[in-house]
Amino acid sequence: MNEFCANFYELWHYYDLGDFSRYMYESGAYPAVFYVMLAFIVVPLVLYYVVIDHIQLARWWKWLVMVFVCSLACAIVGALMGNATVDQYLIEKNIHHTSIVDTAVVSFGLIVFAWTAVLSFVASLLFQHLSVKSRRIPF
């Protein structure tokens, strides 16, 4: 699972973040971030389309705000999880000199944001069929 998640977040080796990616892979942090991302996708969409399913929420811009906020929250949590896991791994392995820069963590957060937004859109196309009042959102 670590191999798939690493390829997923590194865009199949098109966007490698150097030492940050290497230590994320070695510490096995990618699957944890992936599972959190799935939770940030499924839980809000189930709440939106199934549990709440209110006519006042059946607007495309309200759906877009929900997806944006959930993607932003997931990006922040994912970047913090990745950074904390890499820091812990470096302490455990007694590694002091790395070329990890803060922009790698921010870039990883942006990748998590983009994947969360895209997968939320795809999942919305599936979940909208479970809704009565919001079945035309996003289209």
How many angstroms separate the CA atoms of 78 and 105, rounded? Answer: 9
> What pLDDT, in 10s, does the model give residues 18-72?
888 889 999 999 999 999 999 999 999 998 888 887 778 778 898 899 999 999 9
Give domain status of residue 23, yes or no: no
Query: How far is 89 from 56, CA to CA, in rounded Å?
Result: 47
Residue 20 belongs to some domain of the structure: no
Range of the domain at 123: 2-7+28-130
Residue 74 lies in a domain: yes
- Count how many domains the chain has: 1
Q: What is the pLDDT of residue 33?
A: 95
Is residue 13 one of the residues assigned to a domain? no
Q: Is 83 exposed, middle or buried (0-12, 13-18, 19+ CB in 10 A)?
A: buried
pLDDT of residue 130: 80
Residue 15 lies in a domain: no
The 10s digit of each residue's pLDDT in 89-105 is 999 988 887 778 889 99
DSSP state of 103: H
Is residue 14, in this structure, part of any structural domain at all?
no
For residue 68 the two structure tokens come to 């944006």
Residue 37 lies in a domain: yes
